[in-house]
Structure 1
Amino acid sequence: MDKRKRLWMRVAILGVLLGALVFAVYSSFAKDNKEIKIGMQAPNFSLEQLNANGKELKLSDLKGKGVVLNFWGSWCEPCKAEFPELEKQFQRYKADGIEIVGVNISETPLAIQQFVDQYRVSFPILMDRQSEITRIYQIGPIPTTFFINKDGVVQDQFIGQMSESTIIQKINKIKP
């Protein structure tokens, strides 16, 4: 009887392992993989702007302009280092039809405001309080920046801290 119990135990364990393997394979094929790729239309969204009395900004409102869409957090050291360069390029290129938009990930308006004041940011800051847009754009490490042309098509993406020359080079790809 002891051998019989062991046999059934082994069969049960193999059954569980086989079921887990089938589930893993199925999940990988059934997963909705909508990765944002260069050449794709940037997903439209609407988020509340900081310091705009609840007014929202839609990405589609910026059609006709080149858009630098930067996902960031106030606790992120590379974001802190990058923000002065983004502000500098915003001042330099805004008359050329370039819009820089910062998307803050899941922080309070107070924390965002303190960061914006510290770095003297004048470009629009959007608040992704529930990380909905962060999930749509599949943001992992931050900062992550998308460069979107005047037609709303993603022309480039950069993960990590950008230098001044990198920002300028990528902005030149999306100038209207």
Structure 2
Amino acid sequence: MTLFAIALAACGGSGPPKNLNVGDIAPTFQTVRADGMAAHFPAAWTGQPVVIRFWADWCRFCAPEMKLLDQVAARHRAQRLAVIAINVGQDKKTVTAFMEKLGVGYPSLMDEQSKIAKSYGVVGLPTTFFVDAKGIVRGKIVGEADEALFERHIQALLQ
């Protein structure tokens, strides 16, 4: 995780990553999805609670947890819960291959220069944010999580 923090700090911008906490407004961003479509946050998800998952294919917890998150989120789709995965520092070919193999029902967005991750204060992967329909961060998980932890955060987000 330390090497990731050093690499992230070196990827543009000045100073260390911002420390985004519960109660803060989630930073806005524009990027592209792995499928090439434009993605603007929060505009594309206006009025929806959103789980934002930062990941990379070398992260040993990311793949199994992304599948778990997909299963938990599927139980809450009727409540308009959205999940977006943001790949940190990898190219489109790598991201597309990984997501196709994984087979989850949510999109992956590109953050090849780690600018979005830095604006969210991500210093290790995986990192997950739970953002309410008004754009306020209501929960944050840094590191490994299980199904019960995802469920608790999503339940709290939807209340």
TM-score range, shorter chain: 0.7 to 0.9
Amino acid at match of 1:125: S
C-alpha RMSD over aligned residues: 1.7
Residue of structure 1 in register with 2:24 after alignment = 40
Q: 57, 60, 67: which is aligned to 1:77? A: 60
Q: 1:152 to 1:76 in 2, by over 3 A?
A: same
- Residue 141 (str. 1) matches residue 124 (str. 2): yes
- Report the Cα offset of residue 114 of structure 1: 1.3
Letter in 2 for 1:95: A
Query: SS of the residue aligned with 1:156?
Result: strand
Q: Counterparts of 2:98 and 2:17 in 1: how far apart (Å)?
A: 34
Find runs of 4+ consecutive structure 1 residues off by over 3 angstroms.
31-34
Q: State the one-letter code of the partner of 1:100.
A: V
Alignment check: 8 A CA contact 1:46 1:59 kept: no
Q: Which residue is equivalent to 1:122?
A: 105
Identity in percent: 26
User: How many angstroms apart in 1 are the aligned matches of 2:39 and 2:156?
Assistant: 27
Matching residue of 2:136: 153
Following superposition, the deviation at residue 33 of structure 1 comes to: 7.9
SS of the residue aligned with 2:105?
A: coil
The answer for the alignment partner of 1:55 in structure 2 is 38
Q: Distance in 1 between matches of 2:42 and 2:98?
A: 23
Q: 1:84 to 1:109 in 2, by over 3 A?
A: same
TM-score norm. by structure 1 comes to 0.76
In structure 1, give the amino acid aligned to 2:34: L
Q: CA–CA distance in 1 between the matches of 2:19 and 2:66?
A: 26
Higher mean C-alpha displacement, 88-97 vs 125-134: 88-97
Question: How far does residue 55 in structure 1 lie from its aligned partner after superposition?
Answer: 2.1
Q: Across the two proteins, how many residue pairs are aligned to each other?
A: 145
Residue of 51, 70, 74 corresponding to 1:87: 70
CA deviation string 1:9-58 (max 9, x = no partner): xxxxxxxxxxxxxxxxxxxxxx788421111111111110111x342232
Q: Which structure ranks higher in relative contact order (CA pairs < 8 Å, sequence separation ≥ 6)?
A: 2
Aligned-residue offset at 1:173: 1.3
- SS, match of residue 61 in structure 2: helix
**For the pair shown, which has the larger CA radius of gyration, 1 or 2?**
1
**8 A contact 2:52–2:130 mirrored in 1:** yes
Alpha-carbon shift at residue 110 of structure 1 (Å): 1.1
